[in-house]
Amino acid sequence: MTIVVGYVPTPEGEAALTQAIAEAKKSNDTLLVINSSKGDALVDNRYAQEPDIQSIEERLADQGIQHIIKQPVRGHDAAAEVLDAADENDADLIVIGLRRRSPVGKLIMGSVSQRILLEADCPVLAVKAD
Amino acid sequence: MDVWSSLMDGFATALTPMNLLFAVIGVLLGTAVGVLPGLGPAMTVALLLPVTAALEPTSAFIMFAGIYYGGMFGGSTTSILLNTPGESSSVVTAIEGNKMAKAGRAAQALATAAIGSFIAGTIGTALLAVFAPIVVQFAVSLGAPSYFAIMVLALLAVTAVLGSSRLRGFASLALGLAIGLVGIDSVTGQRRLTFGQPLLVDGLDIVVVAVAIFAVGEALWVAAHLRRTPLHVIPVGRPWMGKKDWGRSWKPWLRGTAFGFPFGALPAGGAEIPTFLSYVTEKRLTKHPEEFGKGAIEGVAGPEAANNAAAAGTMTPLLALGLPTNATAAVMLAAFTSYGIQPGPQLFSSEGPLVWALIASLFIGNFLLLLINLPLAPVWAKLLQLPRPYLYAGILFFATLGAYSVNLQAFDLVILLVLGALGFMMRRFGLPVLPLILGVILGPRIEGQLRKTLQLSAGDPAGLFSEPIAIVVYIIVALILVWPFIFKLIRRNRPVAATAVPGNSGATVPREAGGVSHGSHRADGTADGDGGSDG
């Protein structure tokens, strides 16, 4: 069984990861960490860099959690990548971080979290940053 | 003093609110395209040519000059913060600059780049103001044979000296000359390369050619390589320098200026060779050799000063001889023609006020660039988060609009797409773009001088050698062409230990408006010319 977590290098992403680690420990599931970018801009601060990924890797190994870290750059948005991963691995839980959004920002840019919440076939656990 | 009073008049023109506004627009645009890899001043000026047709020529050129200088400033920001040179002239800056940024000294690297660029640009512009009139005095005495020889030199030097492959360079030059031939023969009135198509009789509009090769070609290229792993910009605060950094920077600034200006003014100029020479010199002269390769401030200060001084140097042959030595200058030359201004040595006398206002605006632009770059470099870096589909959609829109508006001829759009495809193929197969653009722009002018020479000598080819300057230039041309063979011979007899090429250390493929491959090839070519360390 698998738990999928959508990770971004922000407080919300960290909160989601922490929560996902706790869940994975409880159920002894494999943790699938997804950090994606559309890859159409030269700079994307939501795409984790090597040192960041390494520290997550170490953290998960230390806690003895079976894990896979994926960083797909295929031109899909983050919601699609997380949903894809959940489908492929028959995930029984998706963990995501929520951030504060203004109504206008959401109207224009859409919301990754909303798409995951509405379209996922499994339970979704949404956490906020402290 | 004559120069002084002309320059002051120039300042009076350049400081009118309207012209000042255009200078500000120019430097802002220039910095933006400088920061963004793949876009450069040449492309921007080409895109803006049709848009500025309604403007006063002086205002338009003030804006173009701002874009040109701005591109040189902006390129360093991307080099330092992302290790991806925004411009081919900032390739060398990335070597030490990015190391400095990774070591937490991004603020100092940005500061020394910006202040060095300002100082070099100001000194370079002052040299331009002093030397251009002297060059003009010399140039008015030149006849058609000498002009022809100098233009041949410019074409050959740019093609043979820059770039990793001479064959590709000459292929590109031949394409450019062929495009330049389309239209009516100026002497006999015969149609050339029109394929019975009446719309081609007037020749291909240079704006359409430049926009197609730079903008459409680059957009197609980017579209074909859209996905790439995103990077993070190294965070910085406000750029500043400590006392020690000043002490270590000012000599490289001046030395970089000394390298940059003459190389920019030479026909085979461009900013790549002097930046590389400056880097090598600083590496040799530094008191902190252990820091080189780990982020030495000298390695940023020198090359950045060199590329801005080269930008000023490039203006000298452009204004004094009507001879462009890089892509942006070539497009600006096309701009002169599109305004009905005849470039050449007579420019200073016929369009004196415009030229001096332009030179004055270079001083002003430099100052403005320092103001907007020093405190705002991190803000400019935010531009890199722009999704490229939006960016290139906008560029294609302007390219199409511009190409159509030149002649209001739908046929021009066909040419735009065909040449855009050509631009894409050139990038695909590593053909440098610069020889093509120079070929298109200089081709008809060089032909004019050749025809004039032959008419004067009644068709006798000996007329080409009737002036001493022409003969000297031909000897230089011969040397440039033969040099690699001699060099190979020497090397075969006496194998030299290959020195390390700093040009390749870690910097990702440099991309410039002139073309992806073009940037990287020219960077390699610099290394090649210096030590042949490629082989």
* B101-124 pLDDT, tens digit each: 888 888 888 889 899 999 999 999
**Cβ pair B228:A47 closer than 8 A:** no
Least CB–CB distance from A73: residue in B227, B384, B387: B227
Domain boundaries, given as residue ranges, for chain B: 3-487
Do B356 and B379 form a contact (C-beta atoms < 8 A)?
no
Find all residues with CB under 8 Å of B228, minimum gap 6, and list them. Answer: A39, A42, A73
Q: Which chain A residues touch B385 with a CB distance below 8 Å? A: 41-45
Instruction: Please say if the pLDDT value at position B531 is more than 90.
Output: no
A93-98 and A124-128 strand pairing: parallel
Do B494 and B532 form a contact (C-beta atoms < 8 A)?
no
Enclosing H/E stretch for A96? strand A93-98
**Cβ pair A73:B228 closer than 8 A:** yes
Q: Given pLDDT bands bounded at 50, 70 and 90, which one contains residue B87?
A: confident
CA distances from B251 to B42, B119, B242 (A): 31, 11, 16
Q: Tell me the C-alpha distance between B173 and B381, whole Å.
A: 35
Nearest CA in chain B to A76: B227
Instruction: Please say if the pLDDT value at position B408 is more than 90.
Output: no
Q: Which chain B residues touch A75 with a CB distance below 8 Å? A: 226-227
Instruction: Tell me the per-residue pLDDT of A44-92, one tens digit each, with 9 for 90 and over.
Output: 888 888 888 899 999 999 988 889 998 888 888 888 999 999 999 899 9
Torsion-angle region of B501 (φ positive above 0: left; ψ -120 to 50: alpha; else: beta): beta
Q: Tell me the C-alpha distance between A61 and A44, whole Å.
A: 27
At B426 the three-state DSSP class reads helix
Instruction: Please say if the pLDDT value at position B132 is more than 70.
Output: yes
B191-192 and B183-184 strand pairing: antiparallel
Least CB–CB distance from A43: residue in B82, B226, B389: B82
**Cβ pair A40:B226 closer than 8 A:** yes
How close B233 gets to chain A, by Cα (Å)? 7
Instruction: Please say if the pLDDT value at position B438 is more than 70.
Output: yes
CA angle A85, A89, A92 (to 5 degrees): 100
Which pLDDT does position A45 carry in this prediction?
82
Q: A37 has which bridge partners?
A: A73
pTM for the model: 0.81
Instruction: Please say if the pLDDT value at position B495 is more than 70.
Output: no
Averaged pLDDT for residues B487-510: 55
How close B69 gets to chain A, by Cα (Å)? 23
Q: Given pLDDT bands bounded at 50, 70 and 90, which one contains residue B510?
A: very low
**Cβ pair B384:A43 closer than 8 A:** yes
Token pair in block for residue B97: 């600059």
Which pLDDT does position B284 carry in this prediction?
86
**Residue of higher predicted confidence among B179 and B291:** B179
Instruction: Please say if the pLDDT value at position B419 is more than 90.
Output: yes
Instruction: Please say if the pLDDT value at position B520 is more than 60.
Output: no
Q: Tell me the C-alpha distance between B177 and B437, whole Å.
A: 9
Instruction: Please say if the pLDDT value at position B350 is more than 60.
Output: yes
- Phi first, then psi, for residue A77 (nearest 5°) are -80, 170
Which pLDDT does position B518 carry in this prediction?
37
Instruction: Please say if the pLDDT value at position B498 is more than 60.
Output: no
Chain B interface disruption, residue of A38, A43, A81, most B CBs within 10 A = A43
Among the listed ranges A59-63, B155-159, B208-212, B313-317, which one has the minimum average pLDDT value? B155-159
How close A102 gets to chain B, by Cα (Å)? 21
How close B394 gets to chain A, by Cα (Å)? 15
Which residue shows structure tokens 């925004």?
B86
Which residue shows structure tokens 């030590």?
B531
Q: Given pLDDT bands bounded at 50, 70 and 90, which one contains residue A43?
A: confident
**Cβ pair B388:A42 closer than 8 A:** yes
Torsion-angle region of B96 (φ positive above 0: left; ψ -120 to 50: alpha; else: beta): alpha
Which pLDDT does position B237 carry in this prediction?
67
| Of B314, B324, B327, B306, residue with least CA distance to B258 | B306
How close B79 gets to chain A, by Cα (Å)? 13
**Cβ pair A43:B233 closer than 8 A:** yes
What type of residue is B91?
V
Q: Which chain B residues touch A73 with a CB distance below 8 Å? A: 227-230
Which pLDDT does position B291 carry in this prediction?
79
Length of chain B: 535
Q: Tell me the C-alpha distance between B366 and B220, whole Å.
A: 33
Q: Given pLDDT bands bounded at 50, 70 and 90, which one contains residue B506?
A: very low
Q: Given pLDDT bands bounded at 50, 70 and 90, which one contains residue A94?
A: very high
Q: Tell me the C-alpha distance between A123 and A96, whole Å.
A: 11
Least CB–CB distance from A39: residue in B228, B232, B381: B228
With pLDDT > 70 as the criterion, what percentage of chain B qualifies? 90
Nearest CA in chain B to A45: B232
Q: Tell me the C-alpha distance between B327 and B88, whole Å.
A: 12
Q: What average pLDDT does the structure give for chain B?
A: 82
Which pLDDT does position B533 carry in this prediction?
32
| ipTM metric | 0.75
A38 touches chain B (CB under 8 A): yes
Looking from the CA of B16 toward its CB, the CA atoms found within 13 Å total 12
Q: If you ran DSSP here, which 8-state letter would residue B212 be given?
A: I
Token pair in block for residue B177: 């000359």
Dihedral over alpha carbons B457, B458, B459, B462 (to 10 degrees): -30
Q: Which chain B residues touch A44 with a CB distance below 8 Å? A: 230-232, 385
Instruction: Please say if the pLDDT value at position B372 is more than 90.
Output: no
Q: If you ran DSSP here, which 8-state letter would residue B105 be given?
A: -
Which pLDDT does position B125 carry in this prediction?
92
Which pLDDT does position A20 carry in this prediction?
92
Instruction: Please say if the pLDDT value at position B250 is more than 80.
Output: yes
Instruction: Please say if the pLDDT value at position B505 is more than 50.
Output: no
Do B383 and B35 form a contact (C-beta atoms < 8 A)?
yes
Q: Which chain B residues touch A76 with a CB distance below 8 Å? A: none
Do B325 and B161 form a contact (C-beta atoms < 8 A)?
no
Which pLDDT does position B532 carry in this prediction?
32
Which pLDDT does position A18 carry in this prediction?
92
Nearest CA in chain A to B223: A40
Return the number of other C-beta atoms located less than 10 Å from residue A80's C-beta: 18
**Cβ pair A41:B384 closer than 8 A:** yes
At B149 the three-state DSSP class reads helix
**Residue of higher predicted confidence among B516 and A78:** A78
With pLDDT > 90 as the criterion, what percentage of chain A qualifies? 31
A43 touches chain B (CB under 8 A): yes
Instruction: Please say if the pLDDT value at position B528 is more than 90.
Output: no
Nearest CA in chain A to B37: A42
DSSP assignment of B344-396: STTHHHHSHHHHHHHHHHHHHHHHHHHHHHTTTHHHHHGGGGS-HHHHHHHHH
